[in-house]
A and B are shown apart, each in its own frame.
Chain A
């Protein structure tokens, strides 16, 4: 008999169960790791790397609605502020506001396609990147904003795919029962 015949996308079903710890921790952990990642890139003169932590949060919120609570922007933003170089508090404020904004958008448009989600993420990034630049004391010039903004918006579908994959991992039946 085919050993895979009794399993589905999330692994074998007999004798296995989901792990509560993994299921809870994966979204938060992935956002934290994404917050740390920009530090490893080259010390460029221009901010060019997308705000990876924020994009990960957006992707989780839009691809798997109902998973992260509305207040998740506060703790995750605090961690991001410690490492991003922005003045402390900027990510706490902007991430919280973004979570509330998505909540409102969701009430208005309960049924959405991926294109609409991408549009939402694009709009939010269009506000977030200049706002983050403003609170850090920079001037809004197209040279500074353009590359980072374009890259952020274009890369969002990749993050959505990544989150879908992580979600599959999150719900895999890791635990052996009995």
Chain B
């Protein structure tokens, strides 16, 4: 490509000045960007109203696209289903029989559970979802892992509420607009979630890494008891999530825990449920600084 010749600004004072002003403006722009970036890293809530409004404006467009996307995926799945129908049918039948046995066992356990809970006077209420909505979009090009939800303040959604799909935990509400909300996915680098191993009481933190995996960090360090294939569920600590919802499966063992894959991949999810915060008092307690607590 030939040079544009615009750089040699001739004898015209006007051309020289406008070129110079352009450079100044670019430098100032970069500086303003750096300041804004520092502000939004230092005080994440400060500028979030702006992005919430922008998201509200875009939601009407993203909604129909999300519908079309999930429906076309369903069609592909249907075609693929016909292709491997025979062998899959046999395998499914075997699996079904095993599942039926397990289900019977689970019913027995549940019954016993209910009896024991009644014995110690613990009441067990099932949390009703605040709303059920679609994930209408995501920050697909950024390493911050957000998804956008097609429901907002008007539907009763509030900051901090857990979001789950039928398979397991998806994330937590981070920002709310009027008709849309931003969901912090589990794989986001800022996401931390208290979990325990499903089969016993090994407690750990599940931290996002931003690359699709989750790092499981054990709280009690010592001999690492984890094995690949271990399922982790929410422990209920912290008060945000209900205990016992599936989170991740360990794939690789590290020194202080494991690397795990999430159970509920947001790419495979269409509808999600927004649940109320499990123990609001625990959350406000954790938010209160120690000084205020002592002062009372």
| B256 interfacial by beta-carbon distance below 8 Å | no
Is there contact, CB below 8 Å, between A45 and B267? yes
**Which of A51, A52, A65, A92 contacts B36, CB < 8 Å?**
A92
A:96-151 near B, CB below 8 Å: 96-97, 99-100, 103, 106-107, 110-114, 117, 132-133, 135-139, 141, 143-144, 148
The distance in angstroms between the C-alpha atoms of A106 and B7, with both chains bound, is 10
Contact flags A75-112 to B (C-beta < 8 A → 1, else 0): 00100011111111111111111011001001100111
Closest chain A residue to B209, Cβ basis = A139
Chain A positions 37 through 69: 1 when the CB is less than 8 Å from some CB of chain B, otherwise 0: 011111111111111100000000001011001
B212–chain A nearest beta-carbon distance, Å: 4
List the B residue with the shortest CB-CB distance to A79. B54
The CA-CA distance from A138 to B142 in the complex, in Å, is 10
Is A70 among interface residues, defined by CB-CB distance under 8 A? yes
How many chain A residues touch B (CB < 8 A): the figure is 64
Please indicate the chain A residues that have their CB under 8 angstroms from the CB of B142 in the complex: 38, 47, 51, 84-86, 132, 136
Give complex CA distance A90, B40 in Å.
Answer: 9
User: Does A10 belong to the interface (CB within 8 Å)?
Assistant: no
B284 within 8 A of A: no
Pair B40/A47 contact, Cβ less than 8 Å: no
Cβ–Cβ contact A45 & B44, under 8 A: no
- Contact at A52–B141, with CB atoms within 8 Å? yes
The listed residue (A74, A83, A138) touching B143 by CB distance below 8 A is A138
Which chain B residues border A65 with CB–CB below 8 Å?
1, 3-4
Q: Quick one: which of A48, A51, A90, A139 contacts B33, CB cutoff 8 A?
A: A90
Please state if B212 and A144 are interface contacts (CB–CB under 8 Å): yes
A113 CB to closest chain B CB, in angstroms?
8
A38 touching B29, Cβ below 8 Å = no
Classify chain B: how many residues form its interface, as a range: 35 or more
The secondary-structure label for the interface of chain A is helix
Of the candidate stretches B116-124, B145-153, B198-206, the one touching chain A is B145-153
- Distance in Å: Cβ of B60 to nearest Cβ of chain A: 13
* Residues in B whose Cβ lies below 8 Å from that of A106: 3, 7
B212/A43 in contact, CB under 8 A: no
Residues of chain B within 8 A of A52, CB atoms compared? 141
A137 contacts B190, C-beta separation under 8 Å: yes
Given contacts A43-B147, A87-B40, A89-B35, contact A49 B140 (CB under 8 A): yes
Report whether A66 and B145 are in contact in the complex, using a CB–CB cutoff of 8 Å.
no
Expressed in whole angstroms, the minimum distance between the Cβ of A85 and any Cβ of chain B is 3
Q: How close is B10's CB to chain A, nearest CB, in angstroms?
A: 14
Write the nearest CB–CB distance from A139 to chain B, whole angstroms: 6
A152 to chain B, nearest CB (A): 9
Known: A43-B135, A92-B32, A100-B26. A84 touches B141 (CB 8 A): yes
Q: Mark B41-84, 1 if CB is under 8 A from A, else 0.
A: 10010010011001100100010011001000000000000000
Across the two chains, which residue of chain A brings its CB closest to B142? A85
Task: List residues of chain B with CB within 8 A of the CB of A86.
Answer: 139, 142, 144
Q: Which residues of A contact B144 (CB under 8 A)?
A: 85-87, 136-138
Contact A89 B36 (CB under 8 A): yes
Chain B residue nearest in CB terms to A62: B1
B266 within 8 A of A: yes
Distance from A8 Cβ to chain B, minimum over Cβ atoms (Å): 20
Closest to A84 in B: B142
CB-nearest residue of chain B to A112: B1
Q: How far is the CB of A26 from chain B (nearest CB, A)?
A: 18
* Chain B stretch 59-113: residues in CB contact (< 8 A) with chain A: 62, 65-66, 69
B23 adjacent to A138 (CB under 8 Å): no
The answer to whether residues A45 and B51 also contact, given A40-B65, A136-B142 and a CB cut-off of 8 A, is no
Please give the distance in Å from B112's CB to the nearest CB on chain A. Answer: 37
- B213 on interface, CB distance cutoff 8 Å: yes
A93:B33 contact, CB within 8 angstroms:
yes
- CB<8 Å pairs between A and B, sample of 8: A50-B141, A82-B51, A84-B141, A88-B50, A100-B27, A114-B1, A137-B41, A138-B211
Q: A99-B26, A100-B27, A144-B210 are in contact. List 6 more A-B contacts (CB 8 A).
A: A45-B187, A87-B144, A89-B34, A100-B30, A133-B210, A135-B37
Measured CB to CB, the residues of A under 8 A from B are 36, 38-52, 63, 65-66, 69-71, 73-74, 77, 81-97, 99-100, 103, 106-107, 110-114, 117, 132-133, 135-139, 141, 143-144, 148
